[in-house]
Amino acid sequence: MIRRSKWGLQVRFSPSQVLRESSPVLRVRFSGSPARFSSQRLAAFFFAAFFFVPFFFAAFFFAAFFFAAFFAAFFVAAFFEAFFAAVFFAAVFFVAGFFFACFFFACFFFACFFAAVFFFACFFFACFFFVAFFAAVFFAAVFFVAFLFVLFFFAAFFFAAFVDGRL
């Protein structure tokens, strides 16, 4: 038997439908306003689209980029025994990484602009400040990880030069 209530759907099964269950009546209730539920889904979609997705892609490609730079510079220095080649690759990868970071920094402000418009239109000021704070902390963490990659990056050059006997 299916009954529709004012705000949701209530499903009841008779004892003949529930074979040898401990409880003869099962209830499935969806409480709350459907309009409120859809607005929450819409807010979650915009939250994910404008904050989580760009930063996860940025962190992934940033990490992959510096890992590639680290290993490329190390193997260039090891195989060709040329420290100046490693320094050259370091400069190239560091400059490219800097512009790559600037690109995602621009994407960050672009995402903040659309998120601010959306949350201002919906009057979710508390949510917006919380999300902006969370995004700023996450972005700072991404750049901190990138800074660690730069440190490991240059450590690889000096280690390669030390192993090669040029330092």
Both 47 and 82 in one domain: the answer is yes
Tally of domains within the chain: 2
Both 93 and 25 in one domain: the answer is no
Higher pLDDT, 146 or 88: 146
> pLDDT per residue over 63-85, tens digit each?
666 666 666 666 655 555 555 65
Both 96 and 153 in one domain: the answer is yes
Both 45 and 25 in one domain: the answer is no
Both 6 and 58 in one domain: the answer is no
Q: How far apart are CA 31 and CA 10, in angstroms?
A: 9
Burial class (CB in 10 A: 0-12, 13-18, 19+), 123: exposed
* Structure tokens that stand for 124 in this block: 């979710």
Dihedral of CA atoms 117, 123, 125, 127 in degrees, nearest 10, equals -90
Q: What is the pLDDT, as a whole number, of residue 17? A: 46
Both 83 and 126 in one domain: the answer is yes
Distances (CA, A) of 124 to 68, 133, 139: 42, 14, 22
The mean pLDDT of 143-165, rounded to a whole number, is 71
Beta-ladder partners of 11: 2, 28
Both 96 and 56 in one domain: the answer is yes
The boundaries of the domain holding residue 23 are: 1-32
pTM over cut 0.95: no
> pLDDT per residue over 81-117, tens digit each?
555 655 666 666 666 666 666 666 666 666 666 655 5
Check residue 150 and report its DSSP letter. Answer: H
Q: How far apart are CA 46 and CA 50, in angstroms?
A: 6
C-alpha closest to that of 73 among 154, 166, 167? 154
Both 62 and 125 in one domain: the answer is yes
Both 160 and 130 in one domain: the answer is yes
